[in-house]
Amino acid sequence: MKGVLLGICRDATLVDITHEVPVHDVLAGAFELAAAYRYFPPGTIFLTVVDPGVGSSRRGLAIRAGDYIFVGPDNGVFSVVLAAEPVRVAVQLAKGPYARSTISRTFEGRDLFAPAAAWLAIGIDITHLGPSVSDVFRLETPSPVLADDRIVGQVIRVDRFGNLISNIDRAMYATFATSPVGAEMPGRSGIAIVTTYSDAEPGEVCALFGSTDHLEIAANGASAEAVLGVGRGAPVHVVRRA
Amino acid sequence: MKGVLLGICRDATLVDITHEVPVHDVLAGAFELAAAYRYFPPGTIFLTVVDPGVGSSRRGLAIRAGDYIFVGPDNGVFSVVLAAEPVRVAVQLAKGPYARSTISRTFEGRDLFAPAAAWLAIGIDITHLGPSVSDVFRLETPSPVLADDRIVGQVIRVDRFGNLISNIDRAMYATFATSPVGAEMPGRSGIAIVTTYSDAEPGEVCALFGSTDHLEIAANGASAEAVLGVGRGAPVHVVRRA
Amino acid sequence: MKGVLLGICRDATLVDITHEVPVHDVLAGAFELAAAYRYFPPGTIFLTVVDPGVGSSRRGLAIRAGDYIFVGPDNGVFSVVLAAEPVRVAVQLAKGPYARSTISRTFEGRDLFAPAAAWLAIGIDITHLGPSVSDVFRLETPSPVLADDRIVGQVIRVDRFGNLISNIDRAMYATFATSPVGAEMPGRSGIAIVTTYSDAEPGEVCALFGSTDHLEIAANGASAEAVLGVGRGAPVHVVRRA
DSSP string, C119-148: HHHHT--GGGSS-B-S----PPPP--EE-S
Q: Which residues of C touch A161 (CB under 8 A)?
A: 23
Mean pLDDT, chain C, rounded, equals: 95
Interchain pair A198, C107: CB under 8 A: no
| Distance between A55 CA and the closest CA of chain C, angstroms | 31
Residue A241: the pLDDT is 87
Q: Does C18 touch chain A (CB under 8 A)?
A: no
Q: Are A76 and A53 in contact (CB under 8 A)?
A: no
For C13-64, the pLDDT digits (tens) are: 999 999 889 889 999 999 999 999 999 999 999 999 999 999 889 999 999 9
Question: Mean pLDDT over residues A206-226, rounded?
Answer: 94
Q: Which of C33, C37, C196, C208 would best serve as a mutation to test chain B binding (most B beta carbons within 10 A)?
A: C196
**Which DSSP helix (H) or strand (E) runs through C104?**
none
Question: Mean pLDDT over residues A13-39, rounded?
Answer: 94
Q: Which residues of C touch A223 (CB under 8 A)?
A: 23
Using 50, 70 and 90 to split pLDDT, how confident is the model at B63?
Answer: very high
> Which amino acid makes up residue B151?
I
- Across the interface, of C15, C41, C196, the residue whose CB is closest to B106 is C196
Give the Cα separation of A120 and C91 in Å (integer): 41
Give the Cα separation of C96 and B187 in Å (integer): 66
Categorise residue A24: left if φ over 0, alpha if ψ from -120 to 50, beta otherwise: left
Work out the percent of chain A whose per-residue pLDDT is above 70.
Answer: 100
Which positions 148-177 of C are in contact with B (Cβ < 8 Å)? 160-161
Could you list the beta-strand ranges (E) of chain C: 45-47, 60-65, 68-73, 87-92, 145-146, 150-158, 164-169, 181-185, 188-191, 205-209, 214-219, 235-240
Using 50, 70 and 90 to split pLDDT, how confident is the model at A20?
Answer: confident
Residue B200: the pLDDT is 93
Q: Tell me which residue of C54, C21, C51 sits closest to C35, measured CA to CA.
A: C21
Q: Are B218 and B163 in contact (CB under 8 A)?
A: yes
Q: Tell me which residue of B155, B154, B167 sits closest to B84, measured CA to CA.
A: B167
Categorise residue C184: left if φ over 0, alpha if ψ from -120 to 50, beta otherwise: beta
- Across the interface, of A15, A39, A223, the residue whose CB is closest to C110 is A39
pLDDT at B191 > cutoff 80: yes
Report ipTM for this prediction. Answer: 0.93
